[in-house]
Structure 1
Amino acid sequence: MTALSQENQIRYVSSFQELISEPFRGEVNAIGWMRQLAGDFSEIVDKIELTGNITEVDPEELLELTLSEDGQLARSILLNDLEVLKAHGAAPVLNIISQYDKDEDFPFFPTDVYSFHADRSPIPTSTFLCTYQGDASEIVPNAQATQKIQIPEIRNELRKLYDGKEAGFEEFLTENFFDLHYQAAPDARIINLGVGNIWKLAVDHPGNPVLPCIHRAPHEHSGQKRLLLIC
């Protein structure tokens, strides 16, 4: 059974089948299956050998881990989530994240994932994500955010970077993904997506009837490594 939240852009569902079948429509561009997960996900994070700030975890590697009963329960949840998303036609990736790389090329306009942004695809698709441990992703209502390239001060700085004819400026913004980033209003309601929940977020693609969902990766305030499924 679906339910609309007080934030008109969010719809909640009670099963994975509803999550994949519920369409985006009207103002709704974020659909969440809210779950309370059992199991010890921190045990899995602690036993995986990290290879950098972001370590991709293969299902085969999960299966090789020697785990407690709670760790095994967490593993079964991860493997099942990966499997059902693959069966849906998605290509999920499970990552352990210490931190993301920060964009230092444009100090006045970082384009890393800590910035509020929308995803874009040339074909119809959605972004699925779930945080199992650590700080969870955040979204902001579209009406409470402004596309950064429309902010005069930022647009003027971008013009200084652009070396070409005026007719190509908009293409320059798109090619460098500047048009995908947003600035939340000072009084914007930032919505935390929570731990354990699987979310389907609308993507900017041809024919999409709704606005793309504006979201960002969280700063690692908890100090925990983040265990994230995304596709």
Structure 2
Amino acid sequence: MVAAAVVEQCCVPGGVLGSTNTEEFDFFFFVLQWPGSYCDTKNHCCYPKSGKPAADFGIHGLWPNYNDGSYPSNCNPDNSFDKSEISDLLSSLEKGWPTLACPSGDGVKFWTHEWEKHGTCSESQLDLHDYFETALKLKNQANLLQTLKDAGIKPDDEFYDMESIKDAIKGGIGYEVGIECNHDASGNSQLYQVFICVDKSGTEFVECTTMPRGRCASKVQFPSF
């Protein structure tokens, strides 16, 4: 995926765009991305103005989805992103939801895109503040990096069985997840994004009814960052 400022990892792989004017949806995809894989491509990355992010999975987005694999988008153009409404969350967002797009930014462009494209489609459940706060809580709840480390899977540039990665995450959160891989300049398949399904309230992990097509090899690299 292109590391551009506005289209920064925007879509469900293989997903189909649904209606643009509905707030009804079936579940959320909560998407976490590994920064080492985002940066280890020909597009490279730029660290945010706050500095290099922690070597941890960062939030990509919280995306309303339909059970058939399609998703709503840009549901309310009148409800624009307002930084002042999440002033109490900014420090946590810089750490947990950092931008890696070039040129370096403060995250606002990324968060604006995610809210206006995806967040506005969750307004029946979450307002702007709730949307970002919910994503931060889900990140802590998933505790993805520690779950993998507990299973002996570490970001050390080594290759790991994809099934072992999936089993480790399922053991940690209780449900199957979708995994998307990218490829570095040498063509290595890398662990890139993890799609966790969440109920409409944004509080509970649930079983996925559809999965992204992740294009992963049977063994994938977990690059350092």
TM-score bin (small chain): under 0.3
TM-score (norm 2): 0.28
TM-score (norm 1): 0.27
Larger radius of gyration: 1
Q: Which structure would you say has the larger RCO, counting Cα contacts within 8 Å and 6 or more residues apart?
A: 1
